Amino acid sequence: MIETEVLDSGLDAADSGLGDADDDDFDEAVEVQDESLPDHRYIDRELSWIAFNQRVLELAEDPATPLLERANFLAIFASNLDEFFMVRVAGLKRRIVTGLAVPTNIGRAPHDVLTDISASAHALQVRHAEAWQNLVRPALADAGIEVVTWESLSDQERADLYDYFQAQVFPVLMPLAVDPAHPFPYISGLSLNLAIRIRNAKTGRQEFARLKVPSMLPRFVPLPGSRESVRYLPLEELISNNLDDLFPGMEILEHHTFRLTRNEDVVIEEDETENLIQALETELLRRRFGPPIRLEVTEKMDDVMLDLLISELDITEQEVYRLPEPLDLRGLFALTRIDRPELHYPPHIPTTATAFQSADQGGRADIFAAIRKADVLVHHPYESFTTSVVAFLEQAARDPHVLAIKQTLYRTSGDSPIVEALINAAERGKQVLALVEVKARFDEAANIVWARKLEKAGVHVVYGLVGLKTHCKLLHVIREEDGMLRSYSHIGTGNYNPKTSRLYEDFGLFTTDPQVGRDLTRLFNELSGYAIEKKFKRLLVAPLHLRKGLLRHIDKERRNALAGKPARVGIKVNSIVDEEIIDALYRASQAGVRVDVWVRGICSLKAGIPGVSDNITVRSILGRYLEHSRIFAFHNDGDPQVYIGSADMMHRNLDRRVEALVRVTAPAHLKEILDWFDTAMSDQTSSWHLGADEQWVRHSVDADGKPLTDLQELTMSQIQRRRRARAVR
C-alpha cells in the first residue's frame, strides 16, 4: 500500500502492485492514557508491517494465483522489504544512535524492536526464498519457463553462453581488488555483488576482490531453446563461472554473492534552509552514501569472507541475513514480461465512467457538461483515469473559457500527460498553479525535474507549507460561464499518475458544488500564500481539522449507541496506527457500535479484546490491484456521512501533512460506496481476518472448499455490466 528505485519491470517499487504507495515518514508512538482501556491494546506497527508483507508472500504461495503473477508477488515482496529496511529500520537505527528513540506503541525498547524485526524478517526472507525454489520455480519449469543452473547446462550451451559473456558482459565488468594499494571499495545500496577470494600464483598470497553484477544488463540471460519452452540463466551465475577471464594467472578459491542495503532516508530541516530544492538535491546525494543497515549473503559463504565484509562494512552480526540463492528476487519482475497470457490475470480494460460516455459532435466527451448535470464518482482502475481525470484536465487546458487551474502533484509518471496539460494551459495564457511535493519519498529527483519544467513553461510552482508534506489530491478549475465564474473540482484518494492508476484502486469525485469550490479556493490560498483557513464546509483538512472531525463523528456514533440508536463506523485505509483514533474506536465498540475496519497494510488495532473490541471486525484484501482508497463512513442515525480522500490513520497524516477528505452527498454514490464496503467485509468475500491472537488468517474458500467471492473480480464484472446496460439503452 510503504509501497524507490527503478526496477526491471519499468515500474517503481511504489508502482509494483502492493508496496506502500506513499512514503513512510517515521511515526513515533504517542502516549495515550485512558484508564477505561487496557494497557496492552496495540499491535507493534513494525511487526504489523511484516505481517502485511507475509500476506503478499501468501499470494505468491497460492497455486490459485496465475503463475507469472506468483513470480510478480515474489518480486513485490522483495521490493517492499527493501524499502522497509531503507526507511523504517534505518529511521529506527538513526533515532537510537542520536538518542531520540522512544518506546514503541506497545512499550518495547527500540533495541528490542530491532531484534524482533531481525528475527521476523529473517524467517520471512527464508520462507520467501523457499517459495521461489520449491513452489514457483518448479511450476514455471512445468509450464515451459525454466530458470536453470550452470551445472545443468550442456557443453554446447555453455559455449554459446561464453560467447554471449565475451561479447555483452565482459566489457562492462569492473573487478576491484582489495590490497594495500586498493582500499575496500564502496558498495552501493541494493546492488548485487560477487565477493571473490583468489590466490596469486606467483606469491601464493590470498587476495579479495569485489565484482558488481551490472544492473543495466538482463538479470536472466535467455538460452536458445525450442518454441515450447524458454530457459534462463541468472546473470550472476554466468559471471561467476567465467571468473578466470577476469583474473588470469590467479586461482579462484571462493566466490559468493552478497547484497547491501543502506539507509536511504532523507532528512531535511526546512526551517534552517532558504532553498528547499538545493537542500533536497544535496540530501539526495548523501542518500547514496547512507550507512549500511542489512547485509544479505548466501548460505554457503565461508566465515573468512563474511568476517571481512562485516569488518569492512561496519555492520553487526544481527544485520547479516544468510539466505538461499539467488539473492535479490526483485529480478523476477523481468520474468513477468514474458508473453504468456494464460499465466497472467485476464486482461482488464478500464471502462469510461457512465457519466462521461456521451460524446459531443466532435467525438470528444464534454467533461464539463457531464459534471454540471451532477457529481460524478469514478472508481479506478475499473473506470478509466485517462477518460476522466486526464480528459478533464486536457479539456480545461484548451478551453478558452477556463481562466485558472490549480493542482497538487505528489507523484506522477515520467511521461505524464498531467504535466503536459498544465504546461499547455500555461502556454495558452491561463493562470496555472502546481503545488509539487518534492519530498515524496523516492520520487524526489523526478519531482524536481518536473517542477523546473513547469516553471520554465510559466506555471506558478509552489512547494507547500514549511514542515508539512502536501499529500492531498486536489484539482480545481475556474471557468467563466455567462459572465459568472464556476468552479469544477476533483478530489481523489490517489495520485495524479496515469501509470499507477492502472494498478491502484482509488476513488475520485468530480463536482461543481460551490461549497467545495470555495473550500478548495481557500485551501490553495493557504498552500500558496500566507492565508490560514480555519473553516471548511464540505472538506475535512489536516492538520487543523481532520483529526478533530473524525473523532467527533466516531464519538457521535458512540453516543447514538448509548441512546439505543443504530450505530456503525466503517473505515478503509492503507494503515491504521494512530493511538487516539484507535482508542476512540475502542470506546465506540464498548458502547455497542459496530466497527468495521478494512486495512491493506499496517494495523495497530487489536480485534477481539474482551470488553473492549468485541464489536470490531478487521479485514484485509490483497490481489491484482493495490487497495488504495480511503473511506470513512458513519451511520449518523440513518443519514450516512461518508468521506473519501487521501489520509491514512497515522500520526504523519493527521499531524504533519496537508490532507483532505471530501464528503460524498449524492444518494447513488453513497449507496455505491457503502454496498461495496459491505461486500468487502462480508464473510463470503475472500480476505484476511485479524484474530484476537494478532494473527492474520486467510479465508479464501468456504466450508465446502469453493472459492469465496473475489472483490476485485466482482467489481470489474459489475462495472462492465453497467457499461453494457447503458450501451443497450
| Catalytic sites, residue numbers | 471
Task: Decide: residue 663, CB within 10 A, 0-12 exposed, 13-18 middle, 19+ buried.
Answer: buried
Q: At what angle do helices 110-130 and 90-98 cross, to 10 degrees?
A: 160
What are the backbone dihedrals phi and psi of residue 49, each rounded to the nearest 5 degrees, phi first? -65, -40
Query: Is residue 453 a contact partner of residue 463, using CB atoms and an 8 Å limit?
Result: no
Query: Is residue 83 a contact partner of residue 19, using CB atoms and an 8 Å limit?
Result: yes
Is the bond preceding residue 214 a cis peptide, omega within 30 degrees?
Answer: no
Distance CA 411, CA 443 (A): 7
Task: Decide: residue 318, CB within 10 A, 0-12 exposed, 13-18 middle, 19+ buried.
Answer: middle
Q: Given CA atoms 269, 273, 275, 280 in this order, what sign does their dihedral have?
A: negative
Is the bond preceding residue 63 a cis peptide, omega within 30 degrees?
Answer: no
Distance CA 407, CA 393 (A): 10
Distance CA 430, CA 434 (A): 13
What residue has cell string 552514501?
289
What residue has cell string 514503541?
104
- How is residue 319 written as a grid cell? 544485520
Residue 263: what residue type? N
Residue 7: what residue type? L
SS3 call for 517: helix
What are the backbone dihedrals phi and psi of residue 220, each rounded to the nearest 5 degrees, phi first? -115, 120
What are the backbone dihedrals phi and psi of residue 487, each rounded to the nearest 5 degrees, phi first? -95, 135
Would you give the DSSP letter of residue 20?
A: -
Distance CA 19, CA 506 (A): 15
What residue has cell string 523516492?
442
Enclosing H/E stretch for 725 = helix 711-728
Would you give the DSSP letter of residue 415?
A: T
Length of the chain counted residue by residue: 729
Query: Is residue 557 a contact partner of residue 462, using CB atoms and an 8 Å limit?
Result: no
What residue has cell string 519519498?
441
Query: Is residue 114 a contact partner of residue 121, using CB atoms and an 8 Å limit?
Result: no
Distance CA 488, CA 491 (A): 10
Listed in sequence order, the residues at least 6 apart from 77 whose beta carbon sits closer than 8 Å to its beta carbon are 53, 56, 57, 60, 128, 329
- Compute how many other C-beta atoms are within 10 angstroms of the C-beta atom of residue 36: 10
Residue 605: what residue type? L
Closest CA to 404 of 536, 525, 540: 525
